[in-house]
A and B are shown apart, each in its own frame.
Chain A
Amino acid sequence: MAKILLVDDDPLLVRMYQKKLVNDGYDVQTSSDGEDALKSVAAFKPDLVLLDIMMPKKNGLEVLKELKANSATNGLPVILLTNVGGSDEDVERGLSLGAVAYLIKAGNRPDAVVAKVKEILAGYKRDEIPQVKAKISG
């Protein structure tokens, strides 16, 4: 069972995505701010992170930067969640920092989000990226 960390400060959306992911058989934990997210990554050791950009305490891009700077977590696939009004520059920066994909929250129903999660995880399994594989088997 793959472990997903869902990070967003909007409880409504968190509950919605969590329900869908759990229904589809994922082990899901949630965080509502950046600092908490980093702690959860260390404790929960997820296989994939869904990461909102605009958040209190530490924003998504800062979290992403720290994840990529840490050798223990730099192979962890991160999908950015962004708002409609969010800036293109943030998305571009996120992708250049090493996020594997981005999703516009308002434009994607929960099933589309899960489909993307499946796609990314499958891709990582296929490509057998060592760090990720280690995470999955561990």
Chain B
Amino acid sequence: MKIFSLRKKLLLIMFVAGILFALPVSLVTYNGVRKVLIKNYLASNQRAINEQIDESLAVYKQYEVFTKMLGTRTRVVEYLTVRSESRKLELDGIFNDYDSQDQNILSIYLMDPSGNALISTDRSFVGQNYSFREYFKEAIAGHPNISAAIGATSNLFGYYFSYPVSDKTGNIIGVLAVKVKDRAFNELLEKGDLFSKSKVMITDDYGVVIYSNYPDRYLTSLGPLSVEIQKLLNDSNRYLKKEIKPLQYNTIQNEITHYSEPKALLITDTVDKEEESIYVHKLGNLPFFLVAEYGLEDINSAVLATAVNSGIVLFSSILIVVTMLYFLTNFYVSRPLADISRTVEKLSSGDFSSKLKIVSNDEFGLLSQAVNQMSEKLSHFNIDLKNEVNRISSEVNIKNQELLDQQKAILNVLEDVEEEKQKADIQRLKYESLLSGIGEGIIATDSKTKIILLNPAAEKMLNYKAEEVIGKPLSEVIPIINSKKDVLPKEKRPVEMAAKLLKSFSVDSSSDYWYVGKNKTIPVVLNTSPVIRNGKLIGIIDVFRDITTEKEIDRMKDEFLSTASHELRTPLAAIDGIVAMIRQGEYGEISLEVRSALDDVNTASERLIRLVNDLLSLSRIQAGRLKYNLSCFDYNKIVLDTFDFYKPVIEKKGLTFQVKGSSKRQVCGDVDKIKQILSNLLSNSLKFTEKGSIEIEVSEKDQMVITLVKDTGIGISKEDQNKLFGKFQQVGKQTDAKSGTGLGLHLSREMIRKMGGEIWVESSQPDKGSVFAFSLPEKDSLLQKKSQKDIEKEAAAHPDQKFDKMEKMGGGVI
């Protein structure tokens, strides 16, 4: 066997560990050193820039003071007040004197309040108008100003210092301006060491470079200029409409337009991908910015050198340590181990005589001692071994017997299990016969909605054999459609919802659900429930019934109602019409006695017509076939329309009738139906009130508009109030003439609930009068949105919905 000694392994491990340790240390050093260096570098640059800015500001200040001095001179004020030729000459001389004293001054000039240059050391300015310039605009508004621009007349770049000239009363009567060469400031910049180390730019307040030691940057902008700024630049003609190309310093541009304080930014140049440090510093309160850009190459190389040095030092240390370890392990580990291994080898070959010399007092010493003892023991053990072998083999025989016994026991248990299984089978058979006996279809699925059971009723209804569908997803094998053959989306199926929400879902006969079986489609009602054990969904039970017969009966009922109503209404119309004509004398004079009899016939026929109408409405409502024409409208108008309609009849009976309150809110619903409900309450009040008043009161509460109909009529007792809204309910004593169909309030309640409102008896006392109330939800309230959704859903489920044409007595004319 080739030995890769422990020593070598140890050394290798040490070496690798050393390298692994050295690498991160170098990296950390690199980054740490870099940070510190960059910080120092930035700080020293910042100092240089601050100094530079202070110097420049001093120069600006000098010209600012100069301009102010000139602008406040008495002679200037006097000339602007009284423009005599002699004063003009005098001023011209003064201006020229100043101009010649400072070669940086390009011109000194004086403008009247409309911006016309009156006097100027540069003759070409005289007569020109500079009212478009910012410095003029600012000064004439009372603010001394400094701005940079290219001269419109001279075509020379310069700084313009302006000062408003005021008379004694403080009125601004002109502007004095001094144009200074940019050299006055640039010279300073060029002298400082900023220039040698960095790219320097002076920009205006929009980020347009007006000076740089990189001349190609002159009149470029740091980043793209917004359309707004471009327009401002054009309007003031600041740079004579020269094209201004954007550089790629969008961040800096942004820093300038949103300047808050001096900043040093580290950015990565998008062109050469190198990191740069950029300073943005506003020149005092002037609209100029100093932007200095430093490359970080120097720092990077300095940092790299430091990192490499520290790496080399670490690596050498590791080498030294590893070398020392090599010698140490050789002495303390390898030699004793080699001795021990030789002795043990002898032992294994049966030579129990050799003994180790115990040399050291460490673990190797102990090991040598142990090896010696073992060798002694082994020589004794060798003798005992044979006896032991005999003993063990007899024990093995006994163990074998035990195993056989165990096997028998297991067989017994298995027999018991089989018996249990048979019992379970019987139980299962019981359930199965139970399931097959049930008339309802039952489908059970596992928690993943895959079918695990289909009872015989379900098999029959869907025309599937259980084995055809078991194991398949219920939603795929048995789709649900509506009568228009639209497939119900999987996520909306009761079985999927039950699995997801762990709730039961029922579908009743008013819905339009059809199960699609094999070559067969049946309308169903169903109940789908999740089966939950220990908080976990284990399956879903879907119980359903074929309602083909019910549907058919339903259809026949509708058909019957429609036919019956037609058949009833036509003869009724004839009776009603002919009686009316007889009463109106169309068939000749009639006696009072006959007239009174005909009045009764008329009352009866009107009542019958109402009853048929209400019955029709009721059957439509119950079948969800009453169409609602939804819109949102001003509720007051409905109230006033109804008021106008009822006013003559109510007042004819000697009652007062008025509307109180109003609501500005919009309500939504079917206008005709709301009118019908209000009319119903009013005609009830009219019917049961003999003297006093009827009143409509409109108010608002929460998100509802509440309408009260108050009367001073016969009132309703407490016990009768509860019955009012049922079907065919009439309370109190009634004379024939007054009796209604007993459906009006019931229909009103059905309709108002559909529209998200409610109707109730607010208060009523026998002989004192009643207050009926109904509410309607205001536009966009939760209730309104929900009711609208429900109505739309019902309309979608019943494409054969109809308005009640009886509501629209008299038809229509186009």
Which of A's residues lie within 8 Å of B, judged by CB?
A: 10, 12-13, 16, 19-20, 23, 82-88, 95, 100-112, 116, 119-120
Contact = CB atoms under 8 A, between A and B. Distances in A.
B814 A19 contact: no
A6 to B, nearest CB: 14
Interface in B553-586: 562-563, 565-566, 569-574, 576-578, 580-581, 584, 586
11 contacts: A20-B581, A85-B565, A103-B811, A107-B806, A110-B577, A111-B580, A111-B584, A116-B811, A116-B813, A119-B813, A120-B813
Contact of B580 (A12, A88, A109): A109
Contact of B566 (A20, A85, A110): A85
A19 B810 contact: no
A105 B574 CA distance: 9
B786 interface: no
Contacts of B802: 87-88
B803 interface: yes
B586 A20 contact: yes
A12 to B, nearest CB: 4
B484 interface: no
10 nearest CB pairs, A to B: A106-B569, A85-B566, A106-B573, A101-B813, A103-B811, A85-B562, A12-B574, A84-B569, A107-B809, A110-B577
A101 B814 contact: yes
B369 to A, nearest CB: 114
A15 to B, nearest CB: 9
B290 to A, nearest CB: 80
B805 interface: yes
Contacts of A110: 577, 580-581, 586
B583 to A, nearest CB: 11
Given A83-B569, A84-B566, A109 B811 contact: no
B648 interface: no
A14 B813 CA distance: 22
B810 A83 contact: no
Contacts of A86: 805
Given A85-B565, A106-B569, A111-B584, A16 B574 contact: yes
Pick from A12, A84, A109, A119 the residue with the most CB of B within 10 Å. A84
B577 to A, nearest CB: 5
Interface residues of B, number: 31
A112 B577 CA distance: 10
A10 B811 contact: no
B755 to A, nearest CB: 21
Interface of B: 562-563, 565-566, 569-574, 576-578, 580-581, 584, 586-587, 609, 616, 802-803, 805-806, 808-814
Contact of B803 (A23, A88, A105): A88
Contacts of B576: 109
A84 B581 contact: no
Nearest to B800: A87
B813 A84 contact: no
B581 A108 contact: no
Query: Interface SS of chain B: helix, strand, loop or mixed?
Result: helix
Contacts of B581: 16, 19-20, 110-111
Contacts of B580: 109-111
Given A106-B573, A110-B581, A116-B813, 16 more contacts: A13-B570, A16-B574, A16-B578, A84-B805, A85-B562, A85-B565, A100-B813, A101-B812, A102-B812, A106-B569, A108-B809, A109-B577, A110-B586, A111-B580, A111-B584, A112-B810
Pick from B809, B811, B814 the residue with the most CB of A within 10 Å. B811
Contacts of B571: 12
Given A10-B570, A16-B577, A108 B587 contact: no
Nearest to B572: A106
A13 B574 contact: yes
Nearest to B574: A12
Contacts of B578: 16
A120 B565 CA distance: 29
Contact of B609 (A85, A105, A106): A106
Nearest to B805: A104
A111 B806 CA distance: 18
Contacts of A84: 565-566, 569, 616, 805-806
A85 B563 contact: yes
A75 B113 CA distance: 80
Contacts of A83: 566, 569-570
Contacts of B814: 95, 100-101
A124 to B, nearest CB: 12
Given A19-B581, A85-B566, A107 B805 contact: yes
Contacts of B566: 83-85
Contact of A19 (B565, B586, B616): B586
Contacts of B563: 85
A101 B584 CA distance: 26
A12 B577 CA distance: 10
Nearest to B580: A109
A101 B571 CA distance: 23
Contacts of B609: 106
Contact of B570 (A95, A106, A109, A116): A106
A12 B54 CA distance: 113
Contacts of B805: 84, 86, 88, 104, 107
Nearest to B813: A101
B254 to A, nearest CB: 64
Contact of B587 (A19, A106, A107): A19
A107 B570 contact: no
Contacts of B810: 103, 107-108, 112, 116
Pick from B573, B580, B584, B808 the residue with the most CB of A within 10 Å. B573
Nearest to A120: B813
Pick from B563, B571, B578 the residue with the most CB of A within 10 Å. B578
Contacts of A87: 802
A12 B575 CA distance: 9
Nearest to A101: B813
Pick from B569, B571, B587 the residue with the most CB of A within 10 Å. B569
A20 B587 CA distance: 9
B620 to A, nearest CB: 12
A16 B802 CA distance: 29
Contacts of A116: 810-811, 813
A109 B814 CA distance: 20
A13 B587 contact: no
A7 to B, nearest CB: 16
Contacts of A12: 570-571, 574
B586 A108 contact: no
Contacts of A10: 570, 574
Nearest to B559: A85
Contacts of B584: 111
Contacts of A103: 810-811
A37 to B, nearest CB: 19
Nearest to B801: A88
B613 to A, nearest CB: 8
Nearest to B587: A19
A107 B810 CA distance: 7
A71 B584 CA distance: 41
